[in-house]
């Protein structure tokens, strides 16, 4: 089932999401719906708060027609290591349509999470996938990529957000 995506200005996007405690059918259904919603959009990642569910879970898939990856499902993710090296890349967000800005982030991370069965796993990722994971984990903490834009762009961006969404929050 495709779920409606919460848009910039929505309170749930600013809330710190709660840990998932029940690894049950409801969680599986939520993740299934989130994946369907992400693929339909299309997007490369979607966090539960973006569909109005304040829980610590996200889905991601950076596959392109030339390069197949896979669907990642991370429950209660936690970044345990960041690379010192950072890079800058243009990001967008399904919750902030029409806005694209360069964001500086570490190029590689190590993340600890649980799967749908509640089993722990650790993943080391880099490049676009590392960026995507960091963007989605930010969502679980009420942080949006526009918060990470700095310098002179920040002022221009605030004007644009105000015009497009009628709010800056």
Nearer CB in complex with Zn ion: 38/93: 93
Q: Which residue is nearest to Zn ion (CB)?
A: 93
Residue 99 lies near Zn ion (rule: CB under 5 A) = no
Nearer CB in complex with Zn ion: 22/88: 88
Q: How far apart are CA 59 and CA 71, in angstroms?
A: 7
Residue 93 lies near Zn ion (rule: CB under 5 A) = yes
Tokens 């429950």: give the residue: 75
Nearer CB in complex with Zn ion: 30/136: 136
Task: Identify which of 93, 14, 24, 25 has the alpha carbon closest to the alpha carbon of residue 54.
Answer: 14
- Find the part of the chain contacting Zn ion (CB under 5 A) among 10-18, 23-31, 89-97, 118-126: 89-97
Q: Are 30 and 57 in contact (CB under 8 A)?
A: yes
- Find the part of the chain contacting Zn ion (CB under 5 A) among 17-25, 85-93, 118-126, 152-160: 85-93
Residues designated as active site? 136
Q: Are 144 and 8 in contact (CB under 8 A)?
A: yes
Q: Are 59 and 73 in contact (CB under 8 A)?
A: yes
| Residues engaged in binding Zn ion (CB under 5 A) | 93
């Amino acid at each position: 089932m495709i779920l409606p995506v919460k848009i910039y200005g929505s309170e749930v996007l600013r809330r710190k999401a709660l840990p998932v405690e029940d690894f049950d059918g409801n969680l599986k259904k939520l993740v299934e719906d989130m994946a369907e919603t992400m693929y339909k959009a299309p997007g490369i990642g979607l966090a539960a708060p973006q569909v109005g569910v304040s829980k610590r879970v996200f889905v991601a898939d950076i596959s392109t027609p030339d390069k197949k990856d896979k669907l990642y499902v991370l429950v209660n993710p936690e970044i345990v290591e960041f690379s010192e090296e950072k890079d800058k890349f243009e990001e967008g967000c399904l919750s902030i349509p029409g806005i694209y800005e360069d964001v500086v982030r570490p190029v590689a991370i190590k993340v600890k999470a649980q799967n749908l069965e509640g089993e722990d796993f650790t993943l080391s990722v880099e490049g676009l996938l590392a960026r995507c994971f960091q963007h989605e984990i930010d969502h679980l903490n009420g942080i949006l990529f526009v918060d990470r834009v700095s310098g002179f762009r920040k002022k221009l961006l605030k004007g644009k957000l105000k015009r497009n969404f009628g709010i800056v929050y």
